[in-house]
Structure 1
Amino acid sequence: MAGRFLKQIFVENGNPMAMHIHSSIANINARTTLSERIAHSGGNPHAAEHSARVILADPNTEAFQLLVKAYQDTPGVYVESYLWVKKCVEKGVVKFTPVVFKNPGGRRPGEERMSFTDKDEEMLAHWIAAKIPYKEIGGRTGNRLYQQLCDLHSDPEYAWVTRHTWQSWRERYKKNAARFDDIIAAIVAETKPTLGQKGQYGYVRQPERRKRARKGVPKDEEFDEDMADQKPKMETIPDSQPIAGPSNMGFPHAGPAQGGPGIMSAVRGSPIEEELDETESDWAIRVGNAPPPGWAKRRASNDLHDGQHLKKQRQDGPPPADQGSIPPQTVVEIANMHVIDSNIRDIAKKYRFTIEEVQEYYDKCGDMSQTHSRFQKMREMLTNNFPDDTIPPSQ
């Protein structure tokens, strides 16, 4: 290159490109040669680091990596190797080293951590066909099936299961169930396994048995039927006829609708019942559809008459005074007497006198306040004049 005019490539906008030769280039001769080469091509090799457009350093030193990290986010500033100047001069053009973008890590969106191969799917289909040959049995999307598969990782025959977790095996089948079911059906058609044979999954989904309630049957009857299976039934007690006698309710006794006097004679068994039936015919009861006895008619008519009479009284107004009602004045006098007696008892109890003494004085004076004041003073006089001797004197 001696004797040849060099192209002025290190010029920007008519000005020399500012370059800084870093101290990591320790060789004096190399620094001098580099400086001359930059100057011959139009650059400025004497710029400071903070104002330089290009920083030249030794790529084999730790300082070079620190410079790259320090200026990687600074726009317009480039850290280059000292060999970069020679390459640019030989090519006659300035070309900065492009920024190398690193892989951020992780898997791409939608990409599996470890892709499933055709061999993986084939082995998985054979496993499901051996364990659950028929989909109707259920359990192909459960956890236990694939957990059992991964538990066999120590077996050399099942070394392929270690490529994925049991969750991944399950999700692989679940997301591609239609395709896997066709493959499994072809395998089952070839092997023709018997349902329930040794080595299968061991869990079969059975239809739930639901108890259907009979329509039109009350809940009470259903409860009685259920309890009848657990407890012994009680013996049926035959219908018995009530003993003849007077009724306080005023209504005829309800007897059986079938039969007549013959039934009564058949049921009657004790001499007392026979005697009652013969001697007290006035208290006969109604049998079957026969008319009610005389005493029942009279009672019913009397009740009807009394009810009509009471209704008439309520409609006409308050009952007349000649039916034993107490006059209002008498009621007031009785109330006053009750209050007086109550006050007399209170005075006697409060001041510890007898009721007869208080009553006698009140009958003389007729004033309750005066009576109260008198017995209060009497109790105070007795307390002051006659102290309690049971209390020992203080020493």
Structure 2
Amino acid sequence: MPPFQDPTSGLALKFFIQKDLPETLQAELCETIASLGGRVEIKVPRAGFILINPNTPEEERLRLCWMSPDRPERYFVPYTFVDACKVANMLLKQIFLEEGVPIPMHIHSSIANPNARSALSQRIIHSGGDPTASTSSARVILADPNTDVFKHLVQTYQSDPNKYIESYLWVKKSIERGFLVYTPLVYKNPGGRRAGEDRVQFTDEDEHNLAKWIAFTIPRKETGGRTGNVIYKQLCEKKDEPEYAWVQRHSWQSWRERYKKHAARLDQRIAAIVAEAQPAPNAKGQYGYVRQAEEKPKRRRKKKASSPSDDEQPSSPVAGPSSPVQPRQGDDEDESEWAVRVGDEPPPVWAGKKRKTRSNHGESDEEVAKRAKQSARDDEQELTDIAKEFQFTRDEVSAYYVASRDMDKTRARFKKMRELLATSDFD
């Protein structure tokens, strides 16, 4: 059905054009109205549309003569109304009226985009309203809801029954609905349950959602914080996000108390969720996670200079069976060190002392043992670092290393496991 044809009676809608408009413009309007199923009248109709040129003396005269509460179906619209209906391919209803009079509206400066302000003004005019009112005289003030000014306007006029603060999106929604509805006022609950209101019971789904949140926020109980206030306040701050709509069922105090009273059971659910899909390593912004301290370079101890090997011992004079070994000059105090057994004489003093054995690298048994202990400590530290970096338990990492005895292979395996867990679906 054409836009300018009455859907009930099937008759053409009637239009009257302000006489002092240019003839070419009047001709174009007549042609467009006819193509959309309407009819142009030479006299002002009892019911229909009067196309005016806003802010002109003739417009003022027409309103004084023909605007009447007895004719609520006689509408005064700008001549651009015809093209607007053609673009929309529908008849734009005159919804911004009260008792046949355009509702005065003010477009607040918080709507900063000039193109948006112009488009908003045209929509209001074509749907019967008056967007030129001042702040004091306006019945509706349109502002940007994402600004502090909007909140200030709401607080300023919340006790005024004749003034409404609406978002600029309210205009579009009203036109799409086809009727006018102001945003309803609600009484703010100062806290606690309303009189006669039952406490909202926790469901299994509530507990599952709570366990998922704690698993994501504090995956390891030993770090602390699960019984504090912060994570539950953070949870309730997400109530406006679609995926956290369930948060509004309870207050943050109730979520906290639910965990405290059922911690033993909930910890098992949390552990299962963490085991299935742990939070990504080094996750930023998660409660309880801080930047890991930079590792200090390890200082290696200088090895003590080893004594010369047996092969490097100073050569001593060759002694015969009956000739004593002569001591070196200047080494009288170490004379006994170079003594040898002669004939049936008792063995020299040094023969009763233990000699330190040397490794193939010239190290003594004691030095080899120290080096082995240091190597073991280094391995233990590296296994701890792998567990922290990829968020597995120390026992898991140690068990794999004992089986493989390859530190590089151990690090590569747990890195790959963490990458697989990070890419898996949390749910």
Instruction: Give the TM-score band, short-chain normalised.
Output: under 0.3
Provide the TM-score with structure 2 as the length reference.
Answer: 0.25
Larger radius of gyration: 1
